[in-house]
Amino acid sequence: MADSHVIGELRSIRSGLLGFDRQLQAGDDSKEAQQALELCQRWMSQPPSKNKLWDDVTWNLGEAVFQGMRVHELEWMLTDGLLLPKRVIDVPNRRWHFNADNELRLLTKEAPYEGIAVPEGRFLLTSTCMTVTTLMAWHC
Structural domain contains residue 89? yes
Q: What is the pLDDT of residue 18?
A: 83
Structural domain contains residue 3? no
Q: What is the pLDDT of residue 136?
A: 40
Q: What is the pLDDT of residues 34-91, one digit of tens each?
A: 999 998 898 889 898 888 888 888 888 888 788 888 899 999 989 888 888 888 888 8
Which of 86, 87, 84, 88 has its CA nearest to residue 57? 88
Structural domain contains residue 14? no
Q: What is the pLDDT of residues 94-128, one digit of tens each?
A: 999 888 888 889 999 999 999 999 888 899 888 87
Structural domain contains residue 6? no
Structural domain contains residue 16? no
The residue range of the domain holding 43 is 28-134
Structural domain contains residue 140? no
Q: What is the pLDDT of residue 129?
A: 65
Inter-residue contact 125 to 134 (CB < 8 Å): yes
Provide the whole-model pTM.
0.71
Higher pLDDT, 134 or 81: 81
Give the number of domains in the chain: 1
Residue 135 reports pLDDT greater than 50 = no
Q: What is the dihedral of CA 38, 137, 47, 40, to 10 degrees?
A: -10
